[in-house]
Structure 1
Amino acid sequence: MSLGDDQGYGGAGETRTRLPERGGDPYGGARRGGRSSSRSLVTVVGVVVLLIAAIAFANRGDDSASGGGKGSGDKPKAAATAASGTKPVPSKAGGIPTGFSRDQQGAESAAANYAVTLGSTGMFNADSRHRIVEALYTPTAAAKLQGAMDSAYSASFLSRMGLDANGNPPQGSTFVSRTIPVGTKTGQLTESTAEVSVWYMGLIGMSGDKSTDPVTSTWKTWTFDLQWVDNDWKIVTDSQKDGPAPVPGDDKAASSDQISKAIEEYGGFTYAR
């Protein structure tokens, strides 16, 4: 949340390890209000900063590639993200939706699905991360981004997240990293370029009896500069910013077992406009 930024999906952020203040499940039936634990906040910030720095570093010098789209074309009128009944994509490649239509709806569907993929746990494994970056970015952007991402997702960073060098959680624990789009908005749009922002809620953390970093939520906006390449929308550059975040509710936090079970039982969606 992926993580992909200002999950998913890095720069190097320092994190601190804090043991639970009391025994038992760290989720413990506590009520989740407007304040998260300092440990959880530091971890989330660490992931976000890590992703932003890697993407920003890799995309330096690409302004000319994306600038053309912003300098031409009329800005579309604002419109709610509403279902159209049109199937978003005809196929998938390696589990990633491909073949989006060359119009506003296709660009918005691509951005939403790309945010989901870049915010997934797949970004924490080198092999799957390489496939994701190669599939979603333009060839030029992907070539620059791969090395930066590898440096960002270092063994030491993964260790701070509670993962091993291959991005695997400890036995008995479930690592959670998900991006859930709430809506999309198109900025500048031309025949070959599109600027699309995805407002989303992210989930990140470790679910397990011994976890000191329970799964928490965050709200962000992910903006993609897309380009039409090889009959599909590809990312040239992307950036994130905080919010807008709604007022937190007073929902009772689930136990680690409930979170792990939900992650295993509830799959993701293919997002269409």
Structure 2
Amino acid sequence: MSLGDDTGRTRTRLPEAGGDPYGGARRNGRSSSRSLVTVVGVVVLLIAAIAFANRGGGDSDEEGGDSPKAAATAPTGEKPVPAGAAGIPAGFAHDRQGAESAAANYAVALGSAEMFTKARRDAILQSIIVPARIADFEARLDKAYTPEFNKNVGLNSDGTTPEGLTFVSRTTPIGTKVTESSSDTATVEVWCSGLLGLAGESSTSPVTNSWFTITMLLEWTDDDWKIVTHSQKDGPTPVPGDERASNADEMAKAVQEYGGFTYAR
């Protein structure tokens, strides 16, 4: 911004340098949050205006009919796959998109609270693992989901939830990427956010958020994509926001009232 002084000269005030949120001093997030809310509000209003302007010119007596059907899955326009065995979607397309959809759905299943119960865990594995590797996966996960592990996350030793508490274990895919592929195999990375913990006043293991990337090698088997190998690493992790952490009652209510999702790209 330019400012004049009494001598007629012009002084230029340069903007102050901001800190790098990933390495330098952290900025005050309040003003940026308000700016973001404003921008998002403008974008939402703009989209609504465009949608209103582009509506079909049907008769007014048709406006009271049924609500529009759900749109096809964005961004590709392919319809979501139907639910399959163990409540997990199945019947993915035999292409890269189908492999990404399968990997995203399998990440949700593998990160669910149902994995802490052996009967449900085995049913999930039967549905998403190639037949030749099911026994290996079952044995490996039986060693991981031990009574000691259950106690570490706040559960009873048998994997059940203590009375008065709500157990949370959810994985949400943020994005997918195919790193290698052939006609019948695909290596897919799934970037995820996860919730894990117990919601409730007496909880000693509150619900926390984590970020991680799952890598799956998938194989086209029995007319669907199935997992051959599975690995996980931390991150990428964003800078935490300034939101206040919810109390135990708010978190428990949210988990009970908001269902999880299945995904199709």
Normalising by structure 2, report the TM-score. Answer: 0.70
Q: 1:136 to 1:199 in 2, by over 3 A?
A: same
Name the residue aligned to 2:225.
233
Corresponding residue to 2:237 among 245, 250, 253: 245
Corresponding residue to 2:95 among 94, 100, 103: 103
Name the residue aligned to 2:106.
114
Q: Which is further off, 235-244 or 89-98?
A: 89-98
Q: Which is further off, 86-95 or 110-119?
A: 86-95
Name the residue aligned to 1:219.
211
Pairwise mapping of residues 24-103 of structure 1 onto structure 2 (< 5 A)? Answer: 83-103=75-95
1:82: Cα distance to partner? 5.7
DSSP-derived class of the 2:231 partner: strand
Question: In 2, distance between residues paired with 1:270 and 1:145?
Answer: 22
Partner AA of 1:118 in structure 2: L
Judge conservation of contact 2:154–2:197 (CA < 8 Å) in 1: no
Corresponding residue to 2:172 among 158, 180, 186: 180
Matched, 1:164 2:193: no
* Cα RMSD (Å): 1.6
1:266: Cα distance to partner? 1.0
Which has more radius of gyration?
A: 2
DSSP-derived class of the 1:97 partner: coil
Q: 1:242 to 1:186 in 2, by over 3 A?
A: same
Question: In 2, distance between residues paired with 1:200 and 1:149?
Answer: 20
* Greater RCO (CA < 8 Å, at least 6 residues apart): 1
Total equivalences in the alignment? 194
Question: In 2, distance between residues paired with 1:126 and 1:240?
Answer: 21
Partner AA of 2:88 in structure 1: I
Normalising by structure 1, report the TM-score. Answer: 0.68
DSSP-derived class of the 1:199 partner: strand
DSSP-derived class of the 2:89 partner: strand
Matched, 1:151 2:115: no
Corresponding residue to 1:262 among 238, 241, 254: 254
Question: In 2, distance between residues paired with 1:208 and 1:124?
Answer: 19
Judge conservation of contact 1:176–1:203 (CA < 8 Å) in 2: yes
1:171: Cα distance to partner? 0.9
Name the residue aligned to 2:5.
none
Question: In 2, distance between residues paired with 1:90 and 1:127?
Answer: 23
1:93: Cα distance to partner? 1.8
1:85: Cα distance to partner? 2.0
What is the CA deviation profile of residues 214-248 of structure 1, one whole-angstrom value per residue up to 9, with x for unaligned ones?
10101111111000000000000011111111111
Question: In 1, distance between residues paired with 2:159 and 2:237?
Answer: 29
DSSP-derived class of the 1:85 partner: coil
Corresponding residue to 1:128 among 114, 120, 126: 120
Name the residue aligned to 2:197.
205
Question: In 2, distance between residues paired with 1:272 and 1:215?
Answer: 27
Name the residue aligned to 1:7.
none
1:270: Cα distance to partner? 1.9
Query: Which runs of structure 1 show a deviation greater than 3 angstroms over 4 or more consecutive aligned residues?
Result: none
Judge conservation of contact 2:108–2:171 (CA < 8 Å) in 1: yes
